[in-house]
Structure 1
Amino acid sequence: MTGLSAFPVLINGCLKQSIDIFDRGFMYGDGLFETVRVVKGIAPLWEYHCKRLIKGCEKLKIETDDKLIERLWSGLNRVIEIAGTKSDTCIVKLIISRGAGGRGYQVPEQSTATEVVICYPAPSYSSTHPSEGVNVTTCRYRLSENSYLAGIKHLNRLDQVLASSEVPKSSSEGIMLDQRGRLIEGTKSNILFFGDGEIVSPATDLCGVDGVARDFVFLNAQELGLSARFERVLPSAIHQFEGMAVTNSVLGIWPVRQMDGALLPISPLVYDIQRLFNEKLMFEYKV
Structure 2
Amino acid sequence: MTEEQKLELNPLIIRIDCVSCLPSQPVPIQELQRLCTTFYCRYRFHKTLVHRTEERPHGTHVYFEDINVICLGAIHPSDLREYLEGPPMVVEVHDRDRKSDESSCRPTLFGEDPLDSHGNIQSFISSKEMEENPFQSQNKTWDSHGVTRVSFTDILLGHKYLNLVVPIQHLPLRTWAKAQGVDFLGSHFGHIMFVFSAKELFLLHSLLKDITLINAKALELDSYPTGTVQQILPAFKMRVNIQHQEHLDILTGFHLLDGNIHLFVLEGLADGGLRQL
Q: TM-score, normalising length from structure 1? A: 0.24
Give the structure, 1 or 2, with the largest relative contact order (CA under 8 Å, sep 6 or more). Answer: 1
Considering fraction of residues, name the structure with more strand: 1
Larger of the two Rg values belongs to structure? 2
Q: TM-score, normalising length from structure 2? A: 0.25
